[in-house]
Amino acid sequence: MSRQLKIAIVGTGAWGSAMAKLLFRKYRRSENEIFLLARDKQRLKAIAAQNSSDLPFCSILVSDLKILKSADAIILAIPTIYLRERLYKLRSFITDKPILNTSKGIEKGFNFAHDILNEAADVPFERFSQLSGPNFADEVANFLPAASVVASKDEKLAIFFQELLSSESFRVYRSDDPVGVELTGALKNIYAIASGVSDGLGLGNNSRAAILTRALAEIKRIGKLFNVKQETLFGLSGVGDLFLTSTSKQSRNYRVGFALAKNKRINLGKGVAEGVWSAKAVFEFAEANNLYMPIAKAVYQLIYEGKEPYKMAMSLMHKPLKREDL
């Protein structure tokens, strides 16, 4: 990165803030400018009022959308279910900008982030890239070692964001399979919920291992329809993220599953884990395309049909016997 850059991060949640901290630390002694864009002045004031030691970038918080016009690239950290709504306000500022999306989810109707960006903001697929990997935002924000992958059909764009984000604590690989990275990053949230259910029911380590292994079979099954590469399935956005979010109480999706196991109802309002919404989109897509995805279906039924957790778990044990590779 030899020339001066201006990078705008849209979204002030945990992941947007983590990106801002990461980049601010890396470029604090350079002429590059990193802006964190709040959705409005009220949100701006709330963030600025927090402990400044936790927010070293507070002096570059802005709420003016016009900052996007002069940005060289834009990082989106907006939950997928709110992305379309936000883009209608941003569209006139970002259409011609390189975009890095960091959220992991699938919109109702089985739309990926790149679909939403194209439909709502006229951003072509060639200017889209996706970041995904086994990363908890708070650990990234605290500069603990982590690895991720940025994927784009444009190799130069992938390299640009790879070099932009890579630091002493954050190692970024690149891929030319953005749809595969989007799909695996979204699907793992559903199986993290299933894993949380298993642990919440006290079904043991064997059960969790079986769920994660068969989850890979389901991801591979649906991935064939989108030509997902094997390297993606077994890479950072696939196996890596699946294992992280399915085995840690830090994972919001895991905690959703654990709560479901205790017969707690999930509030389908704002702030709910991405896997809750993705479960519905994936279930409907699987039904429409006659895809065999019993674990994903069970998660959907637990959330949206109020099925009894233990009975749902045991029903998976009584499916017809079959070959492992089918």
Identified catalytic residue from 188, 220, 249, 270: 188
User: Any alpha helices (H) in the chain, and if so which ranges?
Assistant: 14-27, 41-48, 80-94, 113-121, 137-141, 155-165, 178-200, 205-223, 230-233, 241-245, 252-261, 274-288, 294-304, 309-316
Q: How far apart are CA 92 and CA 176, in angstroms?
A: 28
For the question of residue 280 being annotated catalytic, the response is no
- Burial of 49 (C-beta count, 10 Å sphere; 0-12/13-18/19+): exposed
Instruction: Name the token pair of 102.
Output: 């960091």
C-alpha to C-alpha distance for 214 and 278, rounded to whole angstroms:
18
The token pair at 41 is 């002045």
Q: How many other β-carbons are positioned within 10 Å of the β-carbon of residue 64?
A: 12
Look at the chain and count its residues. Answer: 326
CA distances to 80, 304, 305, 312 from 301, rounded to whole Å, are 22, 5, 5, 8
| Contact indicator for 164, 187 with CB cutoff of 8 Å | no
Active site residues: 188
